Structure 1
Amino acid sequence: MKGKIKVISLFVLVNVIIVSFSFGSTARVVENNKGELVKDNITIEDLFPFTMKKTYSDFDMGDIPDSPKPLPIETPDYFNWADYNGKNWVSPVRDQGYCGSCWCFAAVAVLESAINIEEDCPDLDLDLSEQYVLSCLPKAGSCRGGMAYRALKYILDNGSDGNNCNGILLESCLPYQASDTVPCEDKCSDWMDHLISFVDYGKWNAEPEDRELIKADVMEKGPVAVSMCVTKDFLRWIIDSHNPDDYFHFQEEPRTNHVVLLVGWNDDASIEKGGYWICKNSWGKGYGYNGFFNIEYGSLHIDDSNVVSITYDPTSFNCPPQVFANGYYTADIDEIITFDGRGSFDAENEIESYMWDLGDGTEKTGLMVEHTYQQKGIYSVSLTATDKDGKTNQDQTWAFVDTVNNPPNKPEINGPAKFDNLTWVNFTFRSEDSDNDNVYFYIDWDEAEIDEWIGPYESGEEVLLRHYWAFEDNYEIKVKTKDIYGDESEWATLQISTPKNKQIMDYPFFRIIHHLLDRFGLMMK
């Protein structure tokens, strides 16, 4: 998750759901702005804030005319932009966090994927700024909901509603914080130099009989944004369904509250509705299979609401080079090191120069250069690539001369071996680095999906983290560390167990609550 998320009280949330899990007009207990407990009506959007609290009927559609429906074309039984000609043309899975910004992530994913496709460069994977839409284009929507089409509309709008410019920023210029209160002024000072635009956008309303037209849109333009309804049944399913051959079975639902990226389909006569759609979600990689899911044709409004696409012109934006300095490199004093920048690329194939800063006052040009060092040490080396229009990018590596880098020591884990489930438990982690380098931790709790390193921490610093386990079982905590150069330690493990003494967890919906809390604040420093 890109931003820090407010922790939800486990006690209050569990009691709310025990009282009112029907998701209808059932009474619930909530806290008002005076800190008083009051009754209200509960919806799935209240329990799961990563769905939208608003539906499309809440938005003014008058300024959004429908585009013509695409013409039918011949389509194969199976098509998937995430696996087309053996390559993945879809941008990486993101995590919208504790914010109903699915509409924004879907819109941005349409553009990111179109860039990969039209640039004929599946590895390009530009990371565009969803925060820019939330912070600078407020008419598109907020953390309470929005529309993918309106996000694209205001990205292109060079009037005051579109931040007086045409385009969207790179993620590095305005990182995502899962909040619509981040001021637009927080973007980088040279933001005008980082704008990426496209030619046109479109929205059309699909009907149940338009399945083949959706396929045509996907094949001809790339992945499209579509609406669906997240229900408690869908949540239960996607939490535990990690097989790419599984699909969510048909279920009718009269409304929509979520937007996803539709990347392909699979026709299968053995399935009641004839097959399923392949979709990319914006809840991180822990839901579905690596962030993707399959859903039966017609289910949950997935293919009979808005279909949003764009037209991208690769000549409209010059992508910066993607640079790889590789390494790190090792040698003795006076031994030749060959620095190798192969793997660097430019979507337009227009890299004109490579400049190596070798860290000892020496600079050399070329994709591959040779160099010798006269003194022992660790040298910071950078490679800068420049294309014909002057756009640059840089990557850093290291040269160890007559010096060996030692990985961090195997980390220590300290904490109780037995405790009750649904109980916050403190664990401490510690790792020393013999070179006194800062270290990062990667922790596998044997239950929650964690896919990022945390840190840096000083060598030998004790790190306190809290976690809980929802289910009665035996678990193994695993942790490893790495230093600033990327060298990793061995895994350390700790066996733990939660006794079978809390029958409340027999209720299946508690698995949903567990995953919700895990997403939004269970691991705290």
Structure 2
Amino acid sequence: MIESNQNIVVFDIRTVDEYNAEHIKEAIPMPLSKFLCKSCLQSILDSYRDKEIILYSNNGTLSKKVFDILQRDGFQFVYSINGGLDAWKNANFSLITKEHSCDSKDYSINGKDITLQEVERAIEQKNANWTAGYTSVSNLSYEEKIAMLGDMDMYIPNGDVKEISYNGKLPEFFDWRNVNGTDWTTPIKNQGSLGTCWAFATVACVETVIHIFDGYPWGCDLSEAHLIWCSTGNKNFYLKQYGLPDETCFPYYRGVAGQECNTCPDWEKRARKIAKYGTVPNDVFSIQKALVKYGPLFTTMDVYSDFYFYNGGIYSHTSGGIVSSHAVAIVGYNNKSKYWICKNSWGTDWGENGWFRIKYGNCDIGRNTYWYSANHDPMEPCNPTPYDGARNVDIFTMLSWTGGDPDNDTVYYDVYFKKGWPLTMDDIVSYHQTNTTYNPGILEKDTIYYWRIVATDIHGDSTIGPIWHFWTEDTSSPMIEIVKPQQGYMYKDGGRTIKQIPFPWAAVVIGNITVEVDAWDNNSGVNRVEIYVDDTLKITLNKKPYKWLWEDKSGRYNVKIVVYDNAENFAVSEIKVWVFNF
């Protein structure tokens, strides 16, 4: 069926050596590394999007992983052979073996069978600055090495990438294992044979940021097992919403997959939460700023076969094919030698006692990087005095506001104040004061002022308050316009019919009319409008629309409008009106 159907393609996702030994007829060798390479998905696999793709591995485990990858990438017709090649052989289906194969192509790649000698030779040839040797993971089978890693896209939540703010100059060298003589990190752990590196990298970061928040490294040891088996949905959101209990609440057992959430009954009381998290842009400067500001960073990298032999030095890929992606914690950097210092989760018998150094940009390290913080931002400044939009404010006023911090940290306030718009971050008038009042001095009358407060806690986290504004004492008169009646016009039918007349010094009204007034004040605002006829007050209007139905006998009248603002400044406008009522 496969031979005759051009719409079906079979991918053998095992190693090429395994493919050469035996494979299903017409199967195409497509090692797992091709599916973990995003550029490969586009350049190699895109041509198969309209095909029905059948996947197989030795026992079906890896083919299911690739099935998920292709499904997320939009491939619609993907199938995995249940039980893999083992089930195929048990069903006595035919295979192409090495001795019967007529295919002379060499598909061999550096992968499973790379040796220590090959790695050492490549290091010497490329003049790399690291040493190789046998480690606790170098002699694992290729399947076991893959199982320790994973498709990080399955575990990494999407997030908005925002610029990292940092005040001051970054040091040329930084290491959370030695900040002025203090080691803020926690001991190296061993994830064993499970693909749980994402959880260990996450917990490594969170443990240290809790140390930083608490002010001393007291030995925080959180439960990776709880994060793996009990959390649901977005892992970072879970850490913020629920947190993690200590390790003794739910210990991690290496090599035991598919566990139930067997955490302790009082885990919520024992849990420590993060306050916030964020995504770091993938560039060296941004990663360094986030690292120094917040603490160790979760990140991902590609793992090649030679990485399992890493014994020390500044790692750079020299030999072997890509195995899969991996999650680690960045804890430091060195600008002179251009490397990151990272914490791994393969135990202390690998690398530099479990740690490693890696050249900037090597193995695509930093492509998915997150920061965590146990510190809450200061409260947003609120309750301003004068209140926002206040009018007729005394020129000797004192500014005040309400602040604070959820963690009871000391808060410093920067005051920005300016006459007129716009208010910018250059308009700072007071820096890092601790009290919540500010004296701007004697202000100008009839003027609008803008101001805002930026609160910063002792950890350097800030909250920018809203922009407020107010008007000072109003000494100017309001504005007034008599809309109806107007001089030089005749009105009848209640003012609905208007006709221009030849004498512009008065208005003529036949019958009655609705007097309409427009009044405004840009400072303290209009308080009231008074309408007089021959110096007799007829009505006081306190809000718009300023209208009054005037009915009177025939005669000659003087209509006067008086408008007051909230500072009791006033303006007057008058008009002569002839009324004819028959």
**Structure-2-length-normalised TM-score:** 0.41
Instruction: State the structure with more CA Rg.
Output: 2
Q: Which has the higher contact order (CA 8 A, sep 6+)?
A: 1
Higher strand share: 2
**Structure-1-length-normalised TM-score:** 0.45
